[in-house]
Amino acid sequence: MVIYKFGGASVRNADAVRNLAKIVSQYPRQLVIVVSAMGKTTTALEELVKLYVDGWFNAEGKASRKPLTQAPDESQIADIENWHHFKNRAFEKLEEIKNYHLEIVHDLFSDPKHQVYEDVDVYFSSLTGMLNSEPSTNYDYEYDRIVAFGEIISTRIVSHYLNLENILNEWIDARKCIKTTNFYRDPKIDWESTSKLVPLGFHFKRTKIHITQGFIGSTSDNHTTTLGREGSDFSAAILAFSLNAEYITIWKDVDGVYNADPKWIEKSERLQKISYHEAIELTYYGATVIHPKTIKPLQNKRIPLYVRSFISPENPGTLIHSFDAPNIGANSGLTIPVFIRKPNQVMISVKTFDFSFVAEDNLSLLFGLFAKYRVRTNLMQNSAISFMACVDYDATKLPKLVRDLSSEFDVEVTEDLELITIRHFTPEVIEQIIGDKKIIIQQRSRVTARFVLGK
Ligand code: ADP
Ligand code: ASP
Ligand code: MG
């Protein structure tokens, strides 16, 4: 049994879905297909949740708290108008998402009576119902239950289309099998329940193909959770682990894992093979081609992972498995330098007011605050009385973290930085990539050189 995972780009329009069907049709044995939301649907649904929740709490909430018997005053009128504005924009966004999906459905299914039309309609009616009712005060809970529709709808469409093409398959709701804690948007997997439920759901009794959603799971009381942006790769790994899959193939718009994002460095080279260890390091440092959590479950059971191109499926791609060499370049056959770039970085610099040492007295307080707001440090450095952390820009979490830090320390924030990591570096490649750019921090270990660069 094998797992194929298709991301948003591989189902972004009707031709892409046809291409998926062609790839799938060539696999003759038991197969689990994991599919993401179509194209940029997840981002559109995120915008929808924001309009919906902000609309209720910033405008509708305030408007309805005033006694209705009184003539509305000016601020109340403004609130009501504001609410209508948000509500209209939320419904416009929903309409946009619906039209995008319907266009793909019309292109794939010529029979207007096909079941897919009713199914898609039911999902969009559920979303309309949600937008018309008051949200809970837990934003992340609302996010998960709404954003998950992207995957639910895409897999329904793909499943119907494959059946229409005689690629018989059964649709499975991943939420019935992948169980998580109730930390919405960033839950931990309940491995014990998941590894029991997955083989029960994916039983191959009626068909040799199961199709399911990436990115989503549910709590023990069946509330929907999402596993973090780009989390579908991780879903595929969870299923592979629980089903003892022979291997996974992740189908991407690139020919495999390169020694740099080909969109950044044109002359990057495909890596033929990578060890699990190296793959964990690369994704941890920010190589966005695979979700960082994907590797560990596969490594635990030594399940091979292939990254291949859905545009050129005849190409060999990259194999991630247990190898002695960390990475093997397709051209050279040797370990070659790998470059990872993380844009949009923020440096938070913290100093003690009273010259007390950061390390002895204050580190646990600092890490406690970073953990409280779930801000992950991409790089850190400390001296006697100062601590610096480079983190991803986040308009929601960072202001709260900086506010709390400022009540204990002298805090300075620098935005608009980039973090470059070079694995297996040589002085020449550092010179090529960094040149005379403004270095704010640099750190080197035997294998890895890292640079925080300013503008
Ligand atoms: P998915 O369709 O599964 O969501 P993504 O778009 O998230 O796929 O990932 C594929 C993209 O990852 C590529 O288009 C490429 O620009 C980018 N990428 C970043 N780093 C690398 C790398 N080292 N090798 C290959 N691709 C990379
Ligand atoms: N659809 C989700 C996202 O866009 C998950 C994924 O594609 O991996 O983040
Ligand atoms: Mg993606």
**Reported confidence tier of residue 332, pLDDT bands at 50, 70, 90:** low
**Reported confidence tier of residue 422, pLDDT bands at 50, 70, 90:** very high
Q: What angle do CA 138, 142, 242 make, to 5 degrees?
A: 105
pLDDT value, residue 84: 76
Residue whose Cα lies nearest atom 5 of ligand 2: it is: 230
Establish whether residue 155 lines the binding site of ligand 2, counting it when its CB lies within 6 angstroms of any ligand atom. no
Residue that the structure tokens 């979700």 belong to = 291
| Pocket of ligand 1, beta carbon within 6 A | 7-10, 230, 252-254, 257-258, 260-263, 287-289
Comparing 330 with 8, the larger pLDDT belongs to 8
Domains of the chain: 2-246 (3.40.1160.10), 338-453 (3.30.2130.10)
Distance of alpha carbon 106 from alpha carbon 119, whole angstroms: 14
| Chain centre to alpha carbon of residue 29 | 29
pLDDT value, residue 57: 75
Q: Can you tell me the mean pLDDT for 324-328? A: 89
Q: Can you tell me the mean pLDDT for 127-147? A: 93
The ligand 2 atom nearest the CA atom of 151: 1
Of 227, 289, 290, 319, the residue with max ligand 1 atoms within 8 A of its CB, to mutate for a pocket test, comes to: 289
**Reported confidence tier of residue 68, pLDDT bands at 50, 70, 90:** very low
Kindly give, in sequence order, each residue whose CB lies less than 8 Å from that of residue 87, ignoring residues fewer than 6 positions away: 55, 60, 131
Buried b or exposed e, range 235-274, using 16+ CB within 10 angstroms: bbbbbbbbbebebbbbbbebbbbbbbbbeeeeebbbbbbb
Within 10 A of 54 (CB to CB), how many other CB atoms are there? 17
Q: Can you tell me the mean pLDDT for 406-429? A: 96
Comparing 324 with 17, the larger pLDDT belongs to 17
Tokens for 192, please give them: 């014990």
**Reported confidence tier of residue 359, pLDDT bands at 50, 70, 90:** confident
> Does the pLDDT value for residue 60 go beyond 70?
no
- Mean pLDDT score of the chain, rounded to an integer? 93
pLDDT value, residue 320: 98
The 10s digit of each residue's pLDDT in 260-288 is 999 999 999 999 999 999 999 999 999 99
Can you give the pTM of this predicted structure?
A: 0.93
Measure 290 CA to ligand 3 centroid, in angstroms. Answer: 8
> Does the pLDDT value for residue 328 go beyond 50?
yes
pLDDT value, residue 61: 54
CA 399 to each of CA 346, 373, 395, 405: distance values in angstroms, whole numbers, following the listed order: 12, 10, 7, 10
Distance of alpha carbon 157 from alpha carbon 97, whole angstroms: 14
**Reported confidence tier of residue 66, pLDDT bands at 50, 70, 90:** very low
> Does the pLDDT value for residue 367 go beyond 80?
yes
The ligand 1 atom nearest the CA atom of 6: 3
Kindly give, in sequence order, each residue whose CB lies less than 8 Å from that of residue 215, ignoring residues fewer than 6 positions away: 36, 37, 42, 148, 150, 151, 226, 227, 231, 232, 235
pLDDT value, residue 59: 58
Tokens for 14, please give them: 């009707």
Q: Can you tell me the mean pLDDT for 434-451? A: 95
**Reported confidence tier of residue 455, pLDDT bands at 50, 70, 90:** confident
Measure 148 CA to ligand 1 centroid, in angstroms. Answer: 22
The ligand 2 atom nearest the CA atom of 233: 8
pLDDT value, residue 62: 53
| Least confident residue range of 27-36, 81-90, 188-197, 244-253 | 81-90
Angle between helix axes 115-132 and 74-108 (nearest 10 degrees) is 170
Comparing 154 with 333, the larger pLDDT belongs to 154
Measure 254 CA to ligand 1 centroid, in angstroms. Answer: 7
Nearest ligand (C-alpha, residue 174):
2
Q: Can you tell me the mean pLDDT for 196-216? A: 97
pLDDT value, residue 264: 95
Of 12, 38, 41, 261, the residue with max ligand 1 atoms within 8 A of its CB, to mutate for a pocket test, comes to: 261
Measure 21 CA to ligand 1 centroid, in angstroms. Answer: 22
DSSP 420: E
- Give the closest residue to 39 by CA, choosing from 129, 157, 144, 128: 157
The ligand 1 atom nearest the CA atom of 257: 24
**CB of 278 closer than 8 Å to CB of 318:** no
